[in-house]
Amino acid sequence: MTDHAFCVARAGALTTVQDLGRPGHAHLGVPRAGALDAPAHRLANRLVGNPETAATLETTLTGCAVRVRRDTVAAVTGAPCPVTVDGRPAPWGAAVRVPAGAVLDAGPATHGLRSHLAFAGGIDTEPVLGSRATDLLSGLGTDPLTDGAVLPLGRPYGPPPAVDAVPHPAPPGELLLPFLPGPRDDWFTALGRRTLATGRFRVSAASNRIGLRTEGPPLERARTGELPSEGMPLGALQVPPDGLPVLFLHDHPTTGGYPVIGVVPEAHLAAAAQAVPGTPIRFLPLRGGPAAS
């Protein structure tokens, strides 16, 4: 029904539909996609009574605003931001009742980078390969939101849980990224590997959903040239010719020809989703591998 929907009043800098992504299709050249801050996505869904697989909105820095066409329950998690319903303050990190015709506004992030907006019933756009996630690299899924766009909502799953407050980690003041060395760490000198483990890096403003780019000391190569294209996992630390590692996030390419010096386990990637440009980064080698030498 057309009343089971919302209209975008303010799309913000970049707002996309996200769920838990479409893993298992890398052999077809299809990236994972999905919520960069998966814990925030899951929490927002729990607060409104949805399963964790329901689709939410992921905003970037400036937030977004939507006008709902029916009474609903919504929640905003992830990067803290001011929340209002028709201009009246509403809580962040809690279930909020939004009357039909009212505007739910998640304002600019006060800390961190990305907020998640969940609605009872989830966002009911057409799935592609089993997921409603927007993939900026391949173009799969719903286009990024634009002012005036109308998106359907699903039927509520049930009443939201009765909770007063929920714990949620603060955006990082320093981004700590443990990594497993390899598979191409032998393409770097001992000095290059040591630079990764001890150098002072920062989050670059050129970062996006495809990859977190870094600023800092370049990693010295032991070998020049490029590899034949090979598979790239989520969390890969790929090093392009400028020597500055790029952390592959959910919309990353599935193959690449630059060497991967290490891989950051997925459990540590949510913090990267909230690291604003300029945030200090420390790369921490795991298991005493070659990068620690």
pLDDT in tens, 131-156: 999 999 999 999 999 999 999 999 99
pLDDT average, residue stretch 207-225: 96
Check whether 159 has a pLDDT greater than 90: no
Model confidence, pTM:
0.93
Contact between 154 and 126 (Cβ < 8 Å): no
DSSP annotation of 183 reads S
* Spatial CA neighbour of 22 closest among 132, 117, 139, 144: 132
* Spatial CA neighbour of 62 closest among 87, 81, 86: 81
pLDDT for 164: 66
Predicted confidence band at 291 (pLDDT cuts at 50, 70, 90)? very low
User: Is residue 158 exposed (0-12), middle (13-18) or buried (19+ Cβ within 10 Å)?
Assistant: exposed
Structural domain 175-292, CATH architecture: Beta Barrel (2.40)
**If residue 237 lies in a helix (H) or strand (E), which one and from where to where?**
strand 236-238
| Residue 128 CB coordination number (10 Å) | 18
Ranges for all domains in the chain classified under CATH 2.40.100.10: 175-292
| Bond preceding residue 280 cis, omega within 30 of 0 | no
* Spatial CA neighbour of 123 closest among 55, 71, 21, 67: 55
Pairing label, strands 246-248, 236-238: antiparallel
Question: Rounded to whole angstroms, how far apart are CA atoms 42 and 59?
Answer: 15
DSSP annotation of 28 reads G
**If residue 270 lies in a helix (H) or strand (E), which one and from where to where?**
helix 269-273
Query: What one-character-per-residue DSSP string does 95-146 give?
Result: -EEE-TTPEEEE---SSSS-EEEEETT-B-PPPBTTB----TTT--SSPPP-
Question: Tens digits of per-residue pLDDT, 21-57?
Answer: 999 998 888 999 999 999 999 999 999 999 999 999 9
pLDDT for 1: 45
